[in-house]
Amino acid sequence: MTRPFLKMNGLGNDFVVVEARGEAFRPTPAQARAIADRANGVGCDQLIAIEPTARADAFMRIWNADGGEVDACGNATRCVAWLLMEATGRDEAVIETEAGLLSATRAEGDKRVSVDMGPPELRWDHIPLAEEMDTRGIELQVGPIDAPHLHTPGAVNMGNPHVVFFVDEEPSDALVKGSGSLIEHHPMFPQGVNVGFAWVKAPDRIRLRVWERGAGLTKACGTGACAALVACARRGLTGRAATIEMDGGELQVEWREDDGHVIMTGPVELEFTGRL
């Protein structure tokens, strides 16, 4: 049996999107890994199923490239929201995820979407961390004890767990891959963690690279961009709104003061269609 799919991306963070509102789509972890395999499958960072729900316009189910199911993905939310808005002709959509309900609206510009990602979770047990500590700067370091090259990162949950290290220059491939893979499964994070490396270039501009849990180095990470802005703002390194520069392009992120919600705005791209 074959299933049609759409290949989409948000700033190069790419997805295989399957319509599952008429017919269920529940791949095994091995099948999800095969689809995500860039050498022998379609190739993607995440596999997405659009499922029926009574609570919203659709439910979005997400598998990482390693076959594991996860609760949230900001760039995929923009892509699915754009598809739903195109189908209905409306300028807004509500998507249910395992992390909760997310509302999206069309933004100014071609194929640009804003998503209300909700308020960040900042309590240690909501990240979650293995032990209680201040999430503005947790007790974690990489390198020699007396001279670590990474230390005291911020921790934020944006529907999935993130740790954000603050660096003072362009994060290199070696740094992101080496430290990211090391920290992803650190005992401090019982559910694993997405690892961000944020270089604050100005109070309203952050250069960010992300090692994504279950996917590795990615061109962009929507929830990671939101987590980076929140972590930097909590440390007084930026204001509550900034442009986040990632390998695949830029996102605009605002942590609203009135209700504490994080708003992420950026483009989506439809690459091609096919059949699994």
Pairing of strands 269-275, 241-246: unpaired
The count of other CB atoms within 10 Å of the CB of residue 252 is 18
pLDDT at position 145 is: 85
**Which CATH architecture is the domain 124-260 placed in?**
Roll (3.10)
Mean pLDDT value across residues 214-239: 96
Of 73, 79, 226, 232, the catalytic one is 73
Residues near 142 by Cβ (< 8 Å), separated by ≥ 6? 148, 149, 150, 151, 165, 179, 182, 183
pTM: 0.93
Of 44, 79, 221, 232, the catalytic one is 221
Please, is 94 exposed, middle or buried when counting C-beta atoms within 10 Å of its C-beta (0-12, 13-18, 19+)? middle
The count of other CB atoms within 10 Å of the CB of residue 131 is 10
Rounded distance, CA 167 to CA 200, Å? 8
Strand, coil or helix: what is 82?
helix
Name the pLDDT band for 143 (thresholds 50, 70, 90). confident
Rounded distance, CA 105 to CA 100, Å? 17
Who wins on pLDDT, 145 or 167? 167
Q: Contact 166/153 with Cβ under 8 angstroms?
A: yes
Q: Contact 46/65 with Cβ under 8 angstroms?
A: yes
Residues near 87 by Cβ (< 8 Å), separated by ≥ 6? none
Q: Contact 101/95 with Cβ under 8 angstroms?
A: yes
| CATH of region 4-118+267-275 | 3.10.310.10
185-212 tens-digit pLDDT:
999 999 999 999 999 999 999 999 999 9
Q: Which of 69, 85, 113, 61 is nearest to 222 (CA)?
A: 113
86-134 tens-digit pLDDT:
999 999 999 999 999 999 999 999 999 999 999 999 999 999 999 999 9
Instruction: Give the pair of three-digit tokens for residue 208.
Output: 């960010």
Mean pLDDT value across residues 143-167: 94
The answer to whether 226 is a known catalytic residue is no
Name the pLDDT band for 136 (thresholds 50, 70, 90). very high
Q: Is 66 left (phi over 0), alpha (psi -120 to 50) or beta?
A: alpha
pLDDT at position 148 is: 87
DSSP structural state of residue 267? E
Mean pLDDT value across residues 14-39: 96
Residues near 102 by Cβ (< 8 Å), separated by ≥ 6? 77, 81, 94, 95, 96, 115, 116, 117, 118
The answer to whether 73 is a known catalytic residue is yes
Half-sphere exposure of 44 (CA within 13 A, CB side): 29
Outline which parts of the chain fall under CATH 3.10.310.10: 4-118+267-275, 124-260
Rounded distance, CA 275 to CA 258, Å? 45
164-190 tens-digit pLDDT:
999 999 999 999 999 999 999 999 999
248-275 tens-digit pLDDT:
999 999 999 999 999 999 999 999 999 9
In Å, how far are 13, 173, 194, 225 from 182, measured between CA atoms?
A: 22, 14, 11, 21
29-88 tens-digit pLDDT:
999 999 999 999 999 999 999 999 999 999 999 999 999 999 989 999 999 999 999 999
